[in-house]
A and B are shown apart, each in its own frame.
Chain A
Amino acid sequence: MNKLLKLTVLGLVLGLATTAHASEFYKGKTVTYIVATSPGGGYDTYARLIGRYLEKHLGARVLIKNIPGAGHIVGANTLAASKADGLTIGTFNTGLIYAQILKHEGVQFDLREFAWIGKAAADPRTLVLGTESGLKTYDDLTALAKPVKFATSGVGSASYTDTQLLRSALDLNIEVVPGFNGNEGELAMMRGEIAGQVGSTSSLKSFVDNGYGTFALALGGDGSVPEANSKVKTEKGRAIISLVEAMAVLGRLTAAPAGTPADRVAELRAAYQAALTDADLLADAKKLDIPIEPAYGDTVAKLVGDALNQSPETVAIIAGAVNAEAKDITVKTPLEAVDDGGKIIRFKSGDAEIEAKVSGSRTAITIDGAQADRKLLKPGMICEITYDPQSDKNEPKTMACKG
């Protein structure tokens, strides 16, 4: 606790320091803030709000650039491909973590490599039923004999994955119709074409407040709506629910491209923190009715890293839920043991302990960027390991190690 307090104080001091003399580098420059949706959605609202206060604390102009498409993948790809000079940052859906775990086609970014600035909110998922559907509660939904339709964004998007995961965890009798972006799903619910939607509580709040729908199920929240945890029946289902809940903690992320110079990342982080603790921003957020629950820099980087390191079992569950082929798994983790001259290694993949046989010819090993022999592997090295859990002895295809 004491340590946390010290960190907070340090953060505040850093933040204040930045305000006091806005950075030399950023002064008069223009920072592009990529939003991976069309204007108007939740991400856009957060970015425009935070952007205005970043301007104040960074001393730079912040330009919002909406790059929608493919369930946030286009925006994140654009961010990854942008010049890593600290003048481009971006926000996109946390669900891209799934897309990366499943090695979804079109993913050209590596979330592990992004320079994480922070996150603005915890954004618990919720299941909404449209008033037109005639369904009011979760029990109405489960009592149905015929499946009803749920709208999601494109295949591979977070909204699609969340919906499929919930369907799998709760054995929901729903049919998923992808391709609804922005408010299109809400309109479809108002027309009665679509029964419901799984989405973030804050973006669906006004829809429900306006009487067009009801919150039927919540994944984490204040308890005013039935919890998914109380409805889940299987062990596997429980695991999925807690995974979705864990992802939701990381709401409204902001990152800079990989390779952004460390001093500029530090300035961006400090300004971001100063912005999100600014009393005026908090007052504006209250007016806009959007929650603020921030975390910064390394904390976020660690949370993202942890979310990407999943066990073969969890990856299989996610892949099964979205009907994707289970492919190779990539984790970044320390080597726990190296035996037999590098032939046998042990490491953690999520909560699973993996023992893998390293091939002398097929496994491509690099240490600190240079090609290396398996004999040089040592316990404690941090390695990004790609392995096929279906293969004989979990043979790694590539190992990029440091240390």
Chain B
Amino acid sequence: MSPTRREFVVTAGAAGAAVVLSRPQAVFWTAADQVDAGWEPGLEDRITSACLVCPARCGIRGRVVDGRLVEITGDPLHPVSRGGICSRGLAGVQMLYHPRRLTSPLERVGPRGSGEWREVSRAEALSRVVERLGAVREEGRPEGLALLSGYCAGTMADLWRHFLRTFGSPNHVRDEYADGTDTVMALTHGIPRAPGYDLDRAGFVLSFGAPLFESWWSPIQALAAFGGRGTHEGRRPRFVQVDTRFSRTAAAAHEWVGVRPGTHAALALGIAYVLIRDELIDHRFVAQYVSGFEDFTDATGRSRDGYRSLVMRNYRTEEVSAATGVSVSRITELARSFASTRLSVAVCGSDVTRSPSGLLEGLAVHSLNVLVGNIGRPGGVMFGVDPPLQPLSEPILDATARSGLAREPIGTPGAQFGGGDGPLRFAESVAGSTDSQIEALLLYYANPLESSARPGVWREALERIPFVVSFSPFLDETSGYADLILPDLLPYERWQDAPTPSSYPYPVWGLSRPMVDPPAGGTHTGDAVLELARGLGGSVAEALPFDSFESLLKARAQDLFASHSGMLFGDEFERRHHRQMEQRGWWLPEHRDFESFWADLVVRGGWVDLFYDETDPSRLSRRGDGRIALMPGELLQALDEEDHTEAPFGPISRTRSATAAEYPLLLIPYRLSTLASGTLALERWLVEQPSVLPGVFWRPWVEVSSGTADELRLADGTMVWVVSSRGRYRARLTVFPGTARGTVCAPYRLRHPDGELANPLQLLDETRDPLTGLSAWFTTQIRLERA
């Protein structure tokens, strides 16, 4: 049906007979020449803020014309994004003005999921939540409250944590970027934090499957470095991408190394082999700061092979080449340039850690950085620190709270070295138990019915929870199951701090501030939490004595001002100047008092400290022996205790067992950079053409090589069922030369135009890394059927 019919009705209706006579353009057979946006000549303003669409938290500038946000562009002063921005950020205006955006609290009237709602006032909605939560506390079961939060960092995260503690619930379930690299660092360096990479000043970036230019922690950080924008002389690091598919990162990088699925680590150690064999490692560094390189005897007096002997024994280039499919000469080449280039970094992608032995593979990749000693110095791997914000004062916990916190969080224990898929374990345990463990569930930035690998389990869990509140500004799947929806404001309407993710080694505290007026019925979830606390009264209220989220942010900024370090966002020149000053140990105050500091901070968009103390040993290792452990004791122990087959740097595991005839193909899910977070599927500019590689429109697709397509006798463009032992979904087959034979690359976050989900993660088998509990995303066998 013609999309212009509605258009026509509107114009013709508007036009009317008189117009027909006076303005021939307006008769039915011509559209009106202009779409009437009701423009009044208005004031124009550019407002600096931060993008909250993804974890990168880039700096943005909103162009606001008579109260409407008409355009988003990058903020040139932001130290990480430097004016760069991605399509997701740009399309934000389509999220803000999305027709299906919720503008008033909704209360369920029909049965759950029936989609029958009635609008209620903010006050009414809030009081209802207070009632229920109050009751939960009355019963003395504060642990009956649970929060499921998606990606949330900074003060919102702290606020929730604080709220739950004072309330007395241990059940804060996080569904956010768990890429396992923090665990790797915790073991090797004793620093439980995802590593930062100083890409700007690096010389050679060897990325193992990290989607640097797509859905990495901060795609824009990587892109800026790639564009040579980090250093004023415009030096560009050389990017080499190791990947199992021709990802856009691989496509754009200087070099692409295509490897067999699950063999990133083998390649890394193959490179290590050459480094050691050809004496290319930084002996001084290794001798001085590293443990476990040479053979050693552990605490129990048992003598063990060191990294060197293991690698020399197990990773001869020929074998590595056979396993990875990368030629011996290429491996040697990579090793040589990795060693010879000043400041080389190996970046570990979550695709490495999201495999059955992900933790060990992560170790393997990171060991390259250790061998060349490019750690804790500019251009290398660095461990950032958080901005020195005023901590939320330690609350006085009442008896109820203490009793609740004493309980085990539901769904624990995870694995020994990491929470693993907390949300799923939570859902399983709730769905499994007969008694209602959970009285009330709060959903913040979380939509498990869409995004969880097991939406079925989540549905059951939700059935068991009497009171579900969603803060989502959109009626997503899970909110559809809620009893009450208190729509959050959208990013361009609210105050929120935007610290950049740890991939950027320097502390950055960006600030998102309102650019347009929020709808009357919306509530900043931060304010909502504060109001809840007030409503609950007692120790909970005392712990959060802030009248608004804005004032909370302002209060926390006091310590930034007091820290006598860092600078407000400024241009390249100011940044360099500030860095040099701090290296000399100087810091000049720019503001008389806090008020002027805050005012200026809001205008400039944030605070950054570009000084990194290379002399501080605690930035190399915080392990007992102060060394970087290539063979972490606790890991070895754990591996001995449980009956683990593999050991660190052990023989190349001949996985990829003979694939069952029933499911001959390997599923490779990947995150679509344009749609990386759930809400983005609402933005038509992004969904119309979600990828330039290959050219596809609107509909979900899967990629196979022409060889595979021929074998299956499926033509390019046919609709297929993607079937695993766990389920199936519909997608369009796309022949793509960048796909390895026998594999199917499946982008996720796509939906059919009618809203039907197409989520490959819901086909994933149960394989997990027993050490981190993270589910492996690249082990699932599938088949394709004509739909």
A binds B: no
Interface residues of A (CB under 8 A from B): none
B interface residue numbers (CB < 8 A to A) = none
